[in-house]
Structure formats: C-alpha cells, structure tokens
Amino acid sequence: MIRCGREILAAEGVHGLTLRSAARLAGVSHGAPRNQFADKEGLLAAIAADGFRELVATRRARLSADMTADARLLTVMDGYIEFAVKHPALFYLMFGPQIAGKENYPELLEAGTASYQLLFGAVQDYFNAHGLADQFDDMMVRCAWSAMHGVSMFFSAKPTGPSTRPKVTLAQWRQAVQDFVLTGLLAAGKAKAAAAAPAAAKPRARRAAAHS
C-alpha cells in the first residue's frame, strides 16, 4: 500500500492520493486500507516514514570506513539534496504541513530522528577531526541542516532553482553551500574556542597568584 501511495504521490501529488486510489492501484478492496490506516493522514505518515528510511539508507550506502570526516559530511549533505530533487513530492510531504499531527506517529518521528542523527554524527566527526570536539554542539548541526535543507527546498520545488541573476545551476549552488557550511562550521568552532580561552585562563591565573 505504501509503494502504491508513493506512486500516486509522485504522479498526482497529495491531493490525488486517497485511501481509495491507493487501494485501486494495489488491486485490493476499497475498505482494505482501513485495516492498516485509520485515515488518509495515517497513510501519508507511513509514506513519509518510508521516505525518511530511504533517505537514511541511500546516504549510508555512500559512506565508507576510509572516508575523511570532510568527505563524510559532504556525502551526507549531497545525498540529502539529491534525494530532494529526485523525489520532490515525497520530500515536501516529509517536511511539509500535510501531516498535521506528526507527533501522533511514532514510526515517523523515529525515522525522522534517524535522518537527523546521521547528519549529527557527520558534523560531530568533522569537529573532532579538526581538533574542535569541545566546541561541537547541536546548534552547529542545525546550522548545517538549515543550509542543506534550504538548497533542497529550492531545487525540489523548482528544478531550475531560484530566479537569480546570473542564473546558478544546482551543481554550482550545492557546491557553494557545501563550501560555506564546512568553512562556516570551522570558523564558528574556532571562534568558540577563542572565546573560551580567556575564561579558562582566569582560574589558572588566580590559582597561580594564590601560590606565589
């Protein structure tokens, strides 16, 4: 049923997808989906969860143990953007407002969290590799996600991308954003380290003065 729902979603959008249309494509009775889904939103939530699982699986398949932390982060980001462009209707369903009560679907929440955790781990590894482990926090992941998601939304909604002058291709936009994220994360981490250094030096100075 989920597979059929995804086919209809890709071809006709959310408005064309109903329990009846999914049942018709699956070759089952109109009432059969009710055994699995209470309503259309239940089916949409299951499709969105399936999308998140695919998003995680396709990106993990591209990772290898010998990758540098930089390459790992770029691969995770690149796979996210490519997925959005390849499956625009599904991507919008996963993040859009069509499922009003996302908190009512544990399967969806779990799948979405797994996708975020993949990026979380990649950003954390990036900080560790550059000697900035103490400066890593979730806000760094959110900033990386925001940039990655923004490009994804732009180009999944409109294949030609935003109306910019001069025209910028997906490849150019993606490369620029990825460079921006990697450079920005390092700059933010180094700024946090520099700000923390004077604060850490004060207790040491007081202890030294007390023993002098």
Q: Residue 166: its pLDDT value, please?
A: 66
Q: Residue 28: its pLDDT value, please?
A: 83
Q: Residue 26: its pLDDT value, please?
A: 83
Phi, psi for 98 (deg, rounded to 5): -65, -25
Q: Is residue 106 part of a domain?
A: yes
Residue 65, pLDDT above cutoff 90: yes
Q: Could you give the angle at the alpha carbon of 123 between the alpha carbons of 119 and 125, nearest 5°? A: 115
Q: Give the residue numbers spanning the domain of 170.
A: 38-210
Q: Structural domain tally of the chain?
A: 1
**Packing angle, helices 40-62 and 106-129, rounded to 10:** 20
Phi, psi for 61 (deg, rounded to 5): -65, -20
Q: Residue 156: its pLDDT value, please?
A: 87
Q: How far apart are CA 9 and CA 32, in angstroms?
A: 19
Q: Is residue 21 part of a domain?
A: no
Residues 108/52, Cβ–Cβ less than 8 Å: yes
- Side-chain half-sphere CA neighbours of 93 within 13 A: 29
Residue 209, pLDDT above cutoff 80: no
Q: Residue 93: its pLDDT value, please?
A: 96
Q: Is residue 77 part of a domain?
A: yes
CATH code, domain with 71: 1.10.357.10
Is residue 185 exposed (0-12), middle (13-18) or buried (19+ Cβ within 10 Å)? buried
Residue 208, pLDDT above cutoff 70: no
Q: Residue 48: its pLDDT value, please?
A: 98
pLDDT in tens, 89-134: 999 999 999 999 899 999 999 999 999 999 999 999 999 999 999 9
Question: In terms of pLDDT, which residue wins out, 177 or 26?
Answer: 177
Q: How far apart are CA 8 and CA 19, in angstroms?
A: 11
Residues 96/35, Cβ–Cβ less than 8 Å: no
Number of CB atoms found within 10 A of residue 55's CB: 24
How does residue 47 score in pLDDT terms, banded at 50, 70 and 90?
very high
Residues 6+ apart with CB under 8 A from 64: none
CA distances from 199 to 39, 47, 58, 87, 97 (A): 56, 50, 44, 48, 44
Average pLDDT, the chain: 90
Q: Is residue 15 part of a domain?
A: no
Q: Is residue 24 part of a domain?
A: no
DSSP for 53-95, written as a single string = HHHHHHHHHH--TT--HHHHHHHHHHHHHHHHHHSHHHHHHHH
Residue 54, pLDDT above cutoff 60: yes
Q: Is residue 9 part of a domain?
A: no
pLDDT in tens, 143-200: 999 999 999 998 888 655 556 656 788 899 999 999 999 999 999 999 999 998 876 5
Q: Is residue 11 part of a domain?
A: no
pTM for this model (two decimals): 0.87
Q: How far apart are CA 197 and CA 134, in angstroms?
A: 12
How does residue 30 score in pLDDT terms, banded at 50, 70 and 90?
confident
Average pLDDT rounded to a whole number, residues 77-97? 96
Q: Is residue 29 part of a domain?
A: no
